Structure 1
Amino acid sequence: MRLSKRNPALQPHRTYYSIHHPDPLPFPPVQTAILTSAIQHVPRLGFTPDALIAGAKENNYREATLNLFPRGVYDLVHFYLVTQRLQLKDRVQFSEDAKLGLTQKVKTLTWARLQANVDNDIIGHWQDALGQMSLLENIPASLKELGNLADEIWYLAGDKQVDFGWYTKRAQLSAVYASSEMFMTTDKSEGFADTKEFLERRLGDVRSVGGTVGGAMDYAGWWAGNGVGLARSWGMKV
């Protein structure tokens, strides 16, 4: 059963919730068509210019059309992030009579987003995507999109609390999601069971909402430090 409909006029303000205010895709039609095709080539070619070229050719555009993507491969990564966030509300649908608490719903939604990287067969290339996200010029857009995902997960889980904790919870979930996603790229356990355990443990650590007021800034520092270091370890020029 689909998630119950909500009257947007009765909802507290949110920075983002796609169920009522869907984002337009981050690119106009020509670029969207190319990127949609290019994503299908990522399992084979990775997040690379070759995937973009393959997407352009499938849509009868020349390779020169890639000049439409000023951020290069990162535009492909960003497109994937946005489309997967927008699909989350259809990927996970709670029945109205489901006896699930807020924490369980957040865990279910977060795991579903992580699992999408497996289902789309791109998990083997996700370290490269993380490297692109960690480049200094891409960090602001990456952090913004991560915040949008955390916002979406809490909203779809039914969070209606409006106080300063609203910001803290989203910062905490952003950090939990990012660390779980990075852990998943090296997880060799069957069905990514170790990642699921890692996620549950991290969510348990922040179950008491409102722990760190500076969570958002702490996480931004983590991304700029550890994320860039990780990108360098992969041989990227950062």
Structure 2
Amino acid sequence: MKTGHEEAQDATKGALLDAALLHVPFDGWTEATFRAACQDVAVDVVLAQAICPRGAVDLALAYHARGDALMVQRLLSEDLTGLRFRDKIASAIRFRLEAVDDKEAVRRGTTMLTLPQYAGDGARAIWGTVDAIWTALGDGSDDINWYTKRASLSAVYTATVLYWLGDDSPEHQSSWDFLDRRIDNVMQFEKLKARVQANPLLKPFLAGPNWLADQVKPPKAAVDLPGSLTPRR
């Protein structure tokens, strides 16, 4: 549970983000945008920098996180019963992109987060998105598959976003067709991997790698308080 101070900081960051989005199409996620947002919502720059130490970079990441939250909210509210799992994945990515209310803000953010100094932030943001998708869809992987699922979906998500940014087809139908093809590619690879694993001639050669893969476990979240008996996932 957040403290009153943390809730106040979140509210201020949200207000700054809303104000910044009005300037991003013209100035990008820049210092000029950050200072303009501070002025628009009458927040002292020093206080704003305490909440967002890297200024507009932190606001861009907050915008990405807001989209993730909207996607998860929609995923949990939609009835996906009866859909194939690959279609649930496709729906999740579509929900994520449909949560965007300003494509130019995403385009500007993508440009910024590909710069060398922010590439790590961009990779973590994408990983956070795909982890949110797998978690919302009930992924229970407890081995190396936890990583491979997210790595594969990261590639699909990234490619789809880049295609979507340049897509001007009605209702972005070309993007959804592109997404389906990328997921089909992943499914074909998974089927090939399953056939290799099932091949009796290859089992002796795969025993060692399979054993090593079984030792890989997903990360565990830290407990909230010292002495807590139940770790958070």
Q: By the TM > 0.5 criterion, same fold? A: yes
Identity rate, percent = 23
Contact 2:29 2:56 survives alignment (8 Å): yes
Gap regions ≥5 residues in structure 1: 1-24, 214-238
- The 3-state SS of whatever aligns with 2:22 is helix
Asked if 1:41 corresponds to 2:25, the answer is no
2:225 corresponding residue in structure 1: none
Query: 136, 142, 148: which one pairs with 2:116?
Result: 136
1:123 corresponding residue in structure 2: 103
Count how many residue pairs are aligned between Structure 1 and Structure 2: 183
Contact 2:25 2:105 survives alignment (8 Å): no
**What is the distance in 1 between the residues matched to 2:118 and 2:67?**
18
How far the C-alpha of 1:70 sits from its partner, in A, is 3.7
Residues 199-218 of structure 1: per-residue CA shift (max 9 Å, x gap): 1111111124496x9xxxxx
**What is the distance in 2 between the residues matched to 1:141 and 1:65?**
23
Asked if 1:80 corresponds to 2:67, the answer is no
How far the C-alpha of 1:95 sits from its partner, in A, is 3.2
Counterpart amino acid of 1:145? Answer: A
**What is the distance in 2 between the residues matched to 1:102 and 1:158?**
11
Distance 1:30 1:152, change over 3 A: closer
Contact 2:160 2:178 survives alignment (8 Å): yes
Counterpart amino acid of 2:17? Answer: T
1:28 corresponding residue in structure 2: 9
Gap regions ≥5 residues in structure 2: 1-5, 194-208, 210-233
Query: 12, 25, 34: which one pairs with 1:52?
Result: 34
How far the C-alpha of 1:181 sits from its partner, in A, is 0.5
2:89 corresponding residue in structure 1: 106
- The 3-state SS of whatever aligns with 2:124 is helix
Counterpart amino acid of 2:134? Answer: W
Higher helix share: 2
1:204 corresponding residue in structure 2: 184
Residues 45-94 of structure 1: per-residue CA shift (max 9 Å, x gap): 45344443343223322456554444332222111111211222212224
2:141 corresponding residue in structure 1: 161
**RMSD between aligned alpha carbons?**
2.8
Residues 122-169 of structure 1: per-residue CA shift (max 9 Å, x gap): 213432211111111211122112111111111212322333222111
